[in-house]
Amino acid sequence: METTDRSMIGSASSHIPTDWFAIDWRRVQQNVRVMQIRLTKATQEGDWRRVKALQRSLTRSFSAKALAVKRVTENQGKRTAGVDRELWGTAQQKFAAIARLKKQGYRPLPLRRVFIPKSNGKMRPLGIPTMRDRAMQALYLLALDPILETLSDPNSYGFRKNRSTADAMSQIFVKMSMKVSAQWVLDADIEGFFDNINHNWMLDNVCMDRSILRKWLKSGVVDRAQLLATTAGTPQGGIISPALANWTLNGLESQLIEHLNAKWGVTKVRGFKVGVIRYADDFVVTGASQEFLETEIRPWVEAFLAQRGLRLAQSKTKIVHIDEGFDFLGWNFRKYSGKLLIKPSKKNVKTFYEKLRDVVGSNLGLKQADLIRLLNPILRGWAQYHCPVVAKEAFTRIDGLLFWRLMRWAKRRHPSKNMGWIRQKYWHSVDARSWVFAAEVYDENGNGELKELYSLARTPIKRHKKIVGKYHPYDPYWEKYGETLRQERMLDKMRYRKEWVKLYVCQRGMCALCGCEMDVETGWHDHHIVYRVAGGTDVLGNRVLLHPACHTQVHSLGLKLVKPASE
């Protein structure tokens, strides 16, 4: 019989939960975190025998299995089925799935191949596992991630907790902004990264159950009703794929520095001004000279990648001077008269405007208020991504282009009306600002308010606070730092909705139902304690923030919440 973690039950009960809603999720997360902290300590001490024992214990525990099922049934892919067309939509299915997560007799099904468009017009293949295989990957990721974080390079920022593209951007600024900084960059691109990782290398080096990993790597893929074997690579689309990708490229920074120190000596290496900044499979290497990057760094990088079955894309990999500039993660890095400026790249700006044009062009018959609701999240998301850099010029340009696109949209709706009539109907004066694209909307009580289009040009530019490179999310030493960082970034994401900021602070960053942390990854919903249809108002005293899944649970079960007290 499967081992069950009885300690995950709340203090008022000692029996095993009998249904999905009886699980104490806060206790579940605490139990898993305790095991992950122990895994981190054992890894730091190099006690690999203990690491394997702790991994085995964690992947067999009820808490980890329940958390794995919760993750795959509450993320964006919860409605995307694998080849078996099975989904876990009900509480009964979710609870029954916990017992199915066991190693004995486990055999993953092939992946379902789907294609999504890339920015260059080509199609990117994704491999969609079944719900059970996704849950198994989430389960084993809980045991792999603490080890991965312990061994990761300090300037690796992709698919890691509390790290983002903005952190990678900030690190490049640190390495190249001063007059004495490195002036040359190896802008690298790996050819077919996810498709070409050597399976044997992963089986020999990834610290997890080899038999389970082998089954995932060799599970095959169903493409256009044909079963194809997988002999190399790890599919994009699996929950554990980003972790395996990071594991493959770990050491690119640390091993390179060790190699240079052993060959040239620590003092001389400082003069080479070498720095490696990586986000997933995209990375740049800084250096003092073009010759050094060409003759010393690039051959070492190629040899490092060759061991893993990878190689650089010759057509896209180049060595450039900072005065010439380079694009990385949607930004352009370039020095103008000795001053480093980071701007949205021309390609990124063009792609974004094409998206806006498609949205407006495909919704010619939509009401103005509905079009604004459609455009605002797109505009706000792009603005939040670029607001830490020199983006005012790009913001203003996009606002101007969008204005004329909306003018054409309005003119098409009213071909016989003149400009003055169209301006009076669709554009208003708001807070001393004229020509604001806005529409009057009304609530259930008939109260009207003006809903305006988000203005990119009015977005404040705010320098990003970079994460400390040594930060470890599973090390108790960094607990306070991580908590402060998480809350600061959540409040920054909410700065456009001051009410959410007040609710988040009042709840101390915790979900009002399950008591677990809310962050950018989990998301949040604004819930009215007394429903508006029952006479509830929008005042803060009648609202709480919940996880999206907890919000669904409150409505489906008719739960009654109370306002949490702030400290």
Contacts of residue 328, Cβ cutoff 8 Å, sequence gap at least 6: 168, 169, 172, 187, 282, 284
Q: Is 233 exposed, middle or buried (0-12, 13-18, 19+ CB in 10 A)?
A: buried
Element (H, E) at 342: strand 339-344
* Paired tokens of 461: 């530019």
Per-residue DSSP letter, 538? S
Element (H, E) at 546: strand 543-546
Burial call 463-472: b when 16+ CB within 10 Å, e when fewer? ebebbebebb
80-95 residue pLDDT tens: 888 999 999 899 999 9
Q: Which amino acid is at 224?
A: R
Structure tokens at 173: 């600024």
Sheet holding 123-128, edge to edge: 123-128, 111-117, 221-223, 226-228
* 533's tokens: 């249809």
User: How is residue 417 written in tokens?
Assistant: 């009306």
For residues 561 and 503, the answer to whether their CB atoms sit within 8 Å is no
CA distances from 476 to 14, 67, 167, 473, 479 (A): 28, 21, 22, 8, 5
DSSP state of 293: I
C-alpha–C-alpha distance, residues 59 and 142, integer Å: 8
Whether 260 contacts 268, CB under 8 Å: no
Packing angle, helices 131-151 and 210-217, rounded to 10: 120
Instruction: Of 161, 88, 246, 247, give the one whose Cα is nearest residue 522.
Output: 161
Type and span of the H or E element at 229: none
Q: Which of 248, 230, 34 shows the shortest CA–CA distance to 159?
A: 248
Query: Does the predicted TM-score (pTM) go above 0.85?
Result: yes
Residue 343: which H helix or E strand, with range? strand 339-344
Q: DSSP 3-state assignment of 155?
A: coil
What are the counts of helices (DSSP H) followed by strands (DSSP E) for the chain?
21, 16
Per-residue pLDDT in tens (0 to 9) along the chain, 567 residues:
344 444 443 333 345 788 898 898 889 999 999 999 999 999 999 999 999 999 999 999 999 999 999 999 988 888 888 899 999 989 999 999 999 999 999 999 999 988 877 766 677 778 889 999 999 999 999 999 999 999 999 999 999 999 999 999 999 999 999 999 999 999 999 998 988 999 999 999 999 999 999 999 998 888 887 888 888 877 777 899 999 999 999 999 999 999 999 999 999 999 999 999 999 999 999 999 999 999 999 999 999 999 999 999 998 999 999 999 999 999 999 999 999 999 999 999 999 999 999 999 999 889 999 999 999 999 999 999 999 999 999 999 999 999 999 999 999 999 999 999 999 999 998 888 889 999 988 766 667 788 999 999 999 999 999 999 999 999 999 999 998 898 888 888 776 677 788 888 888 888 888 888 888 778 888 888 888 767 777 788 888 898 888 888 888 777 888 776 554
- In this prediction, residue 17 carries a pLDDT of 80
What phi and psi, each to the nearest 5 degrees, are found at residue 307? -60, -25
E strands, 210-330, are 221-223, 226-228, 275-279, 282-287, 318-321, 326-328
Is residue 50 within 8 Å of residue 160, measured between CB atoms? no
pLDDT, position 137: 96
Which amino acid type is present at position 551? Answer: H
Distance from C-alpha of 494 to C-alpha of 509, rounded to nearest angstrom = 12
Phi, psi of 428 (to 5 degrees): -135, 170
CA dist 124 and 129 (Å) reads 16
219 closest CA partner among 281, 124, 117, 136: 136
Distance CA 331, CA 165 (A): 10
> What are the tokens at 532?
């508006």
Residue 451: which residues within 8 A CB-CB, separation 6 or more? 369, 372, 373, 438, 439, 440, 441
State the pLDDT at residue 1. Answer: 37
- Burial degree of 261 (CB within 10 A; 0-12, 13-18, 19+): middle
Task: Look at residue 120 in the predicted model and tell me its pLDDT.
Answer: 63
Handedness of CA 444, 449, 453, 456 (dihedral sign): negative
DSSP assignment of 500-536: HHHHHHHTTTB-TTT--B--TTT--EEEESS-GGGT-
Give how far the C-alpha of residue 432 lies from the chain's centroid of Cα atoms, to the nearest Å.
38
- Give pLDDT, residue 12: 34
pLDDT score for 501: 81
Burial status of residue 87 (CB atoms within 10 A of its CB: 0-12, 13-18, 19 or more):
middle
